[in-house]
Structure formats: C-alpha cells, structure tokens
C-alpha cells in the first residue's frame, strides 16, 4: 500500500507532464501539415489505445517513463543526398506530410514545441495556484541572530527586514530559505532595511547535512537567522488572472535560471552532484508531496514540467535540443550534416544519456539506503 502511495501520484504526474510535452510537438506538427502516425505515452508494448480519423494512434504503453510522437515517414537522421530518394518513395500528397521536407523554421518550431508546452504548463499551474490558494507577500523580518553565526559575524541584527538576496527582491518570508539554498555563489549579498536605512552585507553561508521539509536527508545552507512575519501575521493574497500570470512567469523564469546556474556550477566542479536524482527519487518526492494535498501536488508537477522542458533543450543528440543544434548547423552550412556525422553524434548522445541515467540511479539508491 505504501508503494502505491508513491507510485500512483508519480504515474499521474508523469503522464500529465509527458502528455503536455508531446502535445506541444503534435500541435505544431499538425499546424504545419506534418502527418502524425503515433502519439504514445510510455514505451514498449501497447496496453490500450485508439486511432482517430486522421490515422493517428493514441496509445498508452507498458513502461510509463516518457513518451513520443512519431511522424509520417519518420527518420532519425536525414542528409541532403537522401532527399531525392524520399521524393521518389512518396507521392505528392504524402510528400506534403513529411517532417523532413518541411522548411527549417517549421521543423525547429515542431521540435521546440515540446519544451515550450512544458513551460506553458508550469505557468498555467502557478497561475491557478495563485488565483485559488493565493501568493504569500509577508515581509521577512529577522527575529533572531545566532551568536557566532555567519549572519552575526557579518553584522545582521534582530528586527532587520530582508529586502533582497543576491539582487533578487524578497517579497515573502518563504523566499529567504529558497534564495539562500538555491545560490551557487560562495557569498550571499543580503540587503536589509534597518531603521529606514538600507544596509548591504556579504555573508558566507555554512553547509550542513540536515533534513528538508519532507524529512529527506539533504545538504542545506544556513546563515544563522530565524525569520518571522513583519507584523506577526501571514499576508497571503489571491491574485487576479493577469497578476497571477505575471508572478507565475516570474517563478518559472527563476526556477529555469537557478537550474541553469546549478548545471553550470557542476561543470565547474563546484555543484553538489548528490542532489541529482532520477525517476526513483522523483517518485519518492512526488508521493511525499502528494500527501500534503492537491496544491502541493500541482506545485511539484510545475517544477517537474520546467525541469523536463529545460533538460530537453540541452544540446545533446537524442534530445530536442540536439535536433535544434543540428538545425542551427544546417542554417549555418546551408545544408544538413551527413548521415554518417549525425549517426556519430547520436551515439555520443546515447552514451551521455546512459551515463547520466546510471549516475542518477546510483544517487537514488543511496538516497534509499540501498547502496
């Protein structure tokens, strides 16, 4: 029963996020007249499905860890020399449905449509939450500074109101730990309001091994302060549609920017690679979060959707970003790369993705205490 508590929410979350991603590809494919033969949620053997009037097979498959949209006459690689062979193979009506014969900008939009749909989903979810449950706008006041802590040594004092962290405006008490822990820089620039005067401090946080809000072991950054609402009350407001979309877009951009900085820090050898997780960890966290209600579940869905969209934009062959990289090269050269060159890149992409899957699986097993 406990396994179902984790697995069922994970499958629901993954199905929605993957469906939206694939529908982004599907939408632009249909917009530009590309034939779609399969719309699949999952891989492997088909469990159930149906075929629509356009000949597209909509199906759920046995392994629910992803999905795909298959285009009419789909090919993994395509070179200029093959174009005449393709033209001979299909009649004129079928040629108009081929993805590979579409203009470069249309192919690019079809490929980018998946990640774009994930970002739109996240904005929609955040907007819904802000309109229904509200958004917190409680000013963050320091209620206590631990003696000898980084904050104490830097000069922060009780009753200081935190205005910004690393030039990011703090508009809520909940943003303080988020901005501190998501920072990839060694020092934090914290601006506070003290008796009507703005003061700036540089603080080097300490890293400790603690527990996150779900009780999982995690590395945390602390500066030695306690935060409380400025007036002693939480100020949570329900937003109108336009304001909700504004703050939802802002949150989506913040998550995207923070993720990119984290990836950059890993390439520099400074990032904490133990924080990388795969399907097992995502399933565990999804199950834990879902127990806090629908709003918490929708929040984690939005964050996973952003992650899926962003990862797919990385310039790695086999991912959407890899195809966009090929199209950029095609634009520069005036022709596609040869079939041999593309196949070589795909092998590299496969190696990188398998290596990443292996690494994240090891992290997941460690997180479960099985490795």
Q: What is the mean pLDDT of residues 240-257?
A: 94
CATH 2.30.42.10 domain locations along the chain: 135-237
Model pLDDT for residues 160-187, shown as the tens digit of each residue: 999 999 988 988 888 888 888 888 888 8
pTM of the model: 0.86
Which fold is adopted by the domain 135-237?
Pdz3 Domain (2.30.42)
Rounded CA-CA distance 310/28 in Å is: 19
Q: How far apart are CA 77 and CA 323, in angstroms?
A: 10
Q: Render pLDDT for 262-299 as a digit per residue (tens, 0 to 9).
A: 878 777 766 666 666 666 666 667 777 778 789 989 99
- The catalytic position among 22, 85, 198, 343 is 22
- 369 or 70, greater pLDDT: 70
Six-digit token string for 311: 């990862």
Token code pair at residue 136: 């917190």
Cα 273 from chain centroid (whole Å): 17
Model pLDDT for residues 356-368, shown as the tens digit of each residue: 777 666 765 666 5
| Contact residues for 169 (Cβ-Cβ < 8 A; gap 6+) | 163
Mean predicted lDDT score pLDDT of the chain: 84
- Active site annotation includes 22: yes
- Rounded Cα distance between 37 and 202, Å, is 57
Q: How far apart are CA 109 and CA 137, in angstroms?
A: 37
Choose between 275 and 134: higher pLDDT.
134
Length of the chain: 371
CA gap 29, 39 in Å, rounded: 12
CA distance linking residue 347 with residue 318, whole number of Å: 9
């Amino acid at each position: 029963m406990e396994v179902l508590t984790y697995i069922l929410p994970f499958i629901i979350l993954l199905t929605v996020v993957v469906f939206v991603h694939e529908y982004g590809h599907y939408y632009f494919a249909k917009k530009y007249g590309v034939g779609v033969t399969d719309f699949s949620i999952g891989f492997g053997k088909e469990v159930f499905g149906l075929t629509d009037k356009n000949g597209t097979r909509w199906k759920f498959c046995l392994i629910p860890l992803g999905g795909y949209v298959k285009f009419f006459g789909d090919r993994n690689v395509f070179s200029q020399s093959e174009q005449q062979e393709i033209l001979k193979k299909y009649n004129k009506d079928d040629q108009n449905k081929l993805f590979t014969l579409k203009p470069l900008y249309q192919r690019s939009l079809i490929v980018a449509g998946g990640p774009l749909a994930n970002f739109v989903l996240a904005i929609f979810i955040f907007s819904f939450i802000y309109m229904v449950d509200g958004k917190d706008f409680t000013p963050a006041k320091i209620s206590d500074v631990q003696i000898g802590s980084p904050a104490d040594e830097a000069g922060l004092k009780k009753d200081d109101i935190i205005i910004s962290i690393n030039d990011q405006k703090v508009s809520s008490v909940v943003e303080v730990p988020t901005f501190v822990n998501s920072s990839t820089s060694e020092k934090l620039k914290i601006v506070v309001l003290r008796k009507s005067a703005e003061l700036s401090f540089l603080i080097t946080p300490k890293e400790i091994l603690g527990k996150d809000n779900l009780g999982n072991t995690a590395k945390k950054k602390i500066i030695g302060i306690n935060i409380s609402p400025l007036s002693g009350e939480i100020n949570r407001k329900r937003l109108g549609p336009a304001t909700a979309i504004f703050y939802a877009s802002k949150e989506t951009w913040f998550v995207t920017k923070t993720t990119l900085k984290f990836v950059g820090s890993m390439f520099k050898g400074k990032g904490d690679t133990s924080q990388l997780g795969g399907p097992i960890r995502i399933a565990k966290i999804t199950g834990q979060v879902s127990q806090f209600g629908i709003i918490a579940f929708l929040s984690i869905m939005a964050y996973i959707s952003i992650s899926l969209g962003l990862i797919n934009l990385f310039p790695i062959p086999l991912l959407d970003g890899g195809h966009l990289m090929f199209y950029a090269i095609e634009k520069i050269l005036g022709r596609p790369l040869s079939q041999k060159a593309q196949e070589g890149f795909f092998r590299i992409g496969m190696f990188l993705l398998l290596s990443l899957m292996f690494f994240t699986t090891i992290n997941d097993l460690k997180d479960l205490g099985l490795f």
